[in-house]
Amino acid sequence: MKLIFQIYLKFLAKIILKKFRPKIIAICGSTNKSTAVAAMARVLSPQMEAAASPKNFNAEIGIPLSILRIVPEGASKIERWSSIALRALQQVFSLKTYPKIILLEFGMHAPMDAEKALSIATPDICIFTNLAPSILSHTDKSEQYNKTFSYFLRRLPKDTALITNADDPHLEELAQFFPDKVSRYGQNPPSDWKLSEITDTDSGQEFNIARNGEIFQVKIREFGLHHAYIAAAAFALSSELKLDLKKIQQEFCK
Amino acid sequence: MQPLRTQNIGLSLIKEMELRGSKIPGVVSLAQGIPSFETNEHIKKAVIESLSLHNIGKYSLSPGLLELREMVEEVLRKDGISYDHNNEIIVTAGSIEGLAATLLAILEKGDEVIIPNPSYAAYAEAVRVAHGVPIFIDLHKNDNWALSIDALEKAKSAKTKAVIICQPNNPTSHIYPESTIRELAEWAKNNNYFLIFDEVYKDFNYTAKPIFHLAKDSKYRGNAVYLRSFSKAFSMTGWRVGYILACKELAREILKVHDSLVTCAPVISQYAAMAALRYQDELINDIMIQYRKRRKITLAHFNKLGDYFECTAPDSGYFFFPKILFKNSGSKKTAIEILEKAKVNIVPGIAFGPAGEGYLRFCFGRSEEDLNEAFTRLKNYFHNSL
Ligand SMILES: Cc1ncc(COP(=O)(O)O)c(C=O)c1O
């Protein structure tokens, strides 16, 4: 039953993608995906509307539902399959316009998951948050992650733009599988989007994001280093989408 | 055996009443604060699934499963609160372990902790376990249990280290207004005291106003610790899982104690907590409908006992805390008499600190059947014997 439901949703999602051809942005990694999707959708929105993943769904259901722009009732997840199935069908007929881009959380734990996610949507841009922390939390996952993500990277089309965390050693270990077009963010070389001067303040964090001598000062309300990394990744994404980076900076500082 | 320090630490009166009650057949207990509900099916199902998917038989990292902490961070973000899941969120074995770990981390021997009372019975004992000295100040019983800064000011000394605030409060079930919390926070910041907020009833709100969380204001991060729990709103008292929010400098210290106490919260319960957060909006909505109903039923019963008790409907939690109007010789004796004669177990107000004397606490988290039976017995008892 679950399988039929998944195939059905995938089929409808593909119709939508074919019809509107949004740019697909996959957010991958072991943690911080939802936080990244939310932050990116927010800072991009004044310049470019983005469809974004509803929260905490696994990839097989989450990706199609995001594409179909369905947020299950009550903001989350205890809705009957039958009613979701009906709404999905209605969406195919009722959606008349569609955002130019879609941010999709690609949650993957095994090569099989990568295969399934890619069979629904092929990313134009792929952003990696990090791989390291979850490996620490469950030691035996390390090898599994390596297998999964090397498989995923190999399966990406060669012209996919990859945005990746230069400071994550586990990601850098996979560099041989990266597509041709890569931009890195982080505090260490070889970051193209270099984070520096990260400081905690009473009301959040301040830091600089620099690229080719151009420096953006960013202030955010969130605490935790990963938010600075997400901001840097958002700059890299915005540049890839040819957006006005000054406006992105302003959105972060709001 | 040598005399031990802990000999001066009591078991709470709540537990004592439960123990007494367990020896009398046929007692209906409205004493201990346990929801009668089963843990929700969706949570149980997710746990069963996690048993087959993950190696749940292993320790997690000491601060808890990364995935759970990340979820907590996200849930907080929706409420306008920012804590870093890498350094500022610790998953604990219930909030009481969080409290013990916090107190053990911050207190030196003889340090004083101010406890506005009546409040949760276990605070004073936890302070004593951590070599501290509890200092009670009275909440204003005639002013909806208001907290006054004057009373705090009078209670402070060179040894004061922290204040424990139960927001919303148990047993009074009142919610401190934003103005009080802000005043308190300023006072604590100026004096450089820690504020420990016990927020285990944060999802229970029968009023139209949202509950104010100081965590939204990052100005006070350095002074505040927040204790939260899955026990109450998700009917998960036995899973033993909750979490602490504290700035990273403080969390680092608390983590050392937490590690010595429990290594990590039970991993299977951490998976249950993830499911609870995933479904939290629906689960809390559904359960609150039930609690509202039970609150209404209980209030109707109390209205019929108006000659014996004066009570207002609770704003939060699952307790009524009525004032005793009949002649009595102390809340403890009264509670024991009611237990023995009416076979209804309740908690004497004195269990919650000296200001609780003259009151009794009734838990309405029990089944409607139990509530109705308990009040039938109480009515018979009062009408026949007083
Ligand atoms: C106010 C208050 N704090 C803490 C606790 C303990 O909760 P936990 O199960 O999270 O340890 C209780 C339980 O009755 C309580 O009423």
- State pLDDT tens for residues A162-209: 999 999 998 999 999 999 999 999 999 999 999 999 999 989 999 999
Residue B254 lies in a domain: yes
Q: How far, rounded to the nearest angstrom, does the alpha carbon of residue B219 sit from its chain's CA centroid?
A: 25
pLDDT score at A141: 65
Residue B321 lies in a domain: yes
pLDDT score at B52: 86
CB-based contact, A202 to chain B, within 8 Å: yes
Ligand 1 centre and the CA of B230: distance in Å? 10
Long-range contacts of A37-42 (CB under 8 A, 24+ apart): A37/A103, A37/A104, A37/A105, A38/B74, A38/B77, A39/A227, A39/A230, A39/A231, A39/A234, A40/A103, A40/A230, A40/A233, A40/A234, A40/A237, A41/A103, A42/A251
DSSP label of B10:
P
List, in sequence order, every residue forming a beta bridge with B92; answer none if it has no partner: B242
Considering only residues B1 and B192, tell me which one the structure prediction assigns the higher pLDDT.
B192
Range of the domain at B201: 41-279
Write out residues with Cβ below 6 Å of ligand 1: B 33, 94-96, 120, 166, 170, 198, 200, 229, 231, 237, 242
CATH number of the structural domain spanning residue A99 = 3.40.1190.10
Say if residue B187's pLDDT is above 70.
Answer: yes
Residue B327 lies in a domain: yes
- Using 50, 70 and 90 to split pLDDT, how confident is the model at A133? low
pLDDT score at A76: 46
What is the per-residue pLDDT across B167-181, written as a single tens digit (0 to 9) for each?
999 999 999 999 999
Whether B70 and A75 lie within 8 Å, measured CB to CB? no
CB-based contact, B52 to chain A, within 8 Å: no
Residue type at position B382: F
Query: Are residues B302 and B180 part of one domain?
Result: no
Ligand 1 centre and the CA of B98: distance in Å? 10
Domain boundary among B230, B259, B279: B279
Phi, psi of A79 (to 5 degrees): -115, 150
Domain boundary among B279, B309, B333: B279
Best mutation target among B41, B50, B84 (most A Cβ atoms within 10 Å) is: B84
Q: Which residue's structure tokens are 């103005």?
A: B179
Q: Which of the residue ranges A104-108, B72-76, B245-249, B291-295 would you say has the lowest mean pLDDT? A: A104-108
What is the rounded distance in angstroms from the CA atom of residue B266 to the CA atom of residue B217? 31
Say if residue A92's pLDDT is above 80.
Answer: yes
Ligand 1 centre and the CA of B99: distance in Å? 10
Q: Which residue's structure tokens are 């308990």?
A: B374
What is the per-residue pLDDT across B242-278, written as a single tens digit (0 to 9) for each?
999 999 999 999 999 999 999 999 999 999 999 999 9
Q: How far, rounded to the nearest angstrom, does the alpha carbon of residue B65 sit from its chain's CA centroid?
A: 24
CATH number of the structural domain spanning residue B181 = 3.40.640.10
pLDDT score at A74: 44
For residues A57-73, average pLDDT: 81
pLDDT score at A38: 93
Query: Are residues B307 and B262 part of one domain?
Result: no
Residue B36 lies in a domain: no
Residue B96 lies in a domain: yes
Range of the domain at A17: 2-253
- Using 50, 70 and 90 to split pLDDT, how confident is the model at B330? very high
For residues B181-189, average pLDDT: 98
Q: What is the DSSP string of B109-134?
A: TT-EEEEEES--THHHHHHHHTT-EE
pLDDT score at A78: 55
What is the rounded distance in angstroms from the CA atom of residue B297 to the CA atom of residue B93? 33
pLDDT score at B385: 81
For β-strands B360-363 and B347-348, DSSP reports them as antiparallel
Query: Are residues B84 and B137 part of one domain?
Result: yes
3-class SS string, A48-62:
CCEEECCCCCCHHHH
Query: Are residues B286 and B264 part of one domain?
Result: no
Q: Which residue from A minimizes the CA distance to B56?
A: A138
- Using 50, 70 and 90 to split pLDDT, how confident is the model at A75? very low
Instruction: Work out the minimum CA distance from A39 to partner chain B, whole angstroms.
Output: 11
Say if residue B289's pLDDT is above 70.
Answer: yes
In testing the pocket of ligand 1, which one of B29, B95, B173 has its CB within 8 Å of the most ligand atoms?
B95
Q: How far, rounded to the nearest angstrom, does the alpha carbon of residue B126 sit from its chain's CA centroid?
A: 13
Domain boundary among B263, B279, B295: B279
- Using 50, 70 and 90 to split pLDDT, how confident is the model at B228? very high
pLDDT score at A4: 87
For residues B17-37, average pLDDT: 92
Number of separate domains in chain A: 1
pLDDT score at A110: 87
pLDDT score at A59: 74
Query: Are residues B329 and B238 part of one domain?
Result: no
Query: Are residues B363 and B340 part of one domain?
Result: yes
Considering only residues B198 and B36, tell me which one the structure prediction assigns the higher pLDDT.
B198
Atom of ligand 1 nearest to the CA of B230: 10
Query: Are residues B15 and B128 part of one domain?
Result: no
Atom of ligand 1 nearest to the CA of B120: 1
DSSP label of B204:
-
pLDDT score at B75: 95
- ipTM field: 0.86
Say if residue A73's pLDDT is above 70.
Answer: no
Considering only residues A135 and B240, tell me which one the structure prediction assigns the higher pLDDT.
B240
DSSP label of B240:
-
Query: Are residues B104 and B66 part of one domain?
Result: yes
Number of separate domains in chain B: 2
Query: Are residues B286 and B192 part of one domain?
Result: no
Query: Are residues B342 and B290 part of one domain?
Result: yes
CATH number of the structural domain spanning residue B10 = 3.90.1150.10
pLDDT score at A191: 96
Atom of ligand 1 nearest to the CA of B241: 10
- Using 50, 70 and 90 to split pLDDT, how confident is the model at A53? confident
DSSP label of A21:
-
Query: Are residues B114 and B16 part of one domain?
Result: no
Say how many CA atoms lie within 13 Å of A87 toward its Cβ: 16
Is residue B212 within 8 A of residue B316, CB to CB? The reply is: no
High-pLDDT (> 70) share of chain B, %: 100
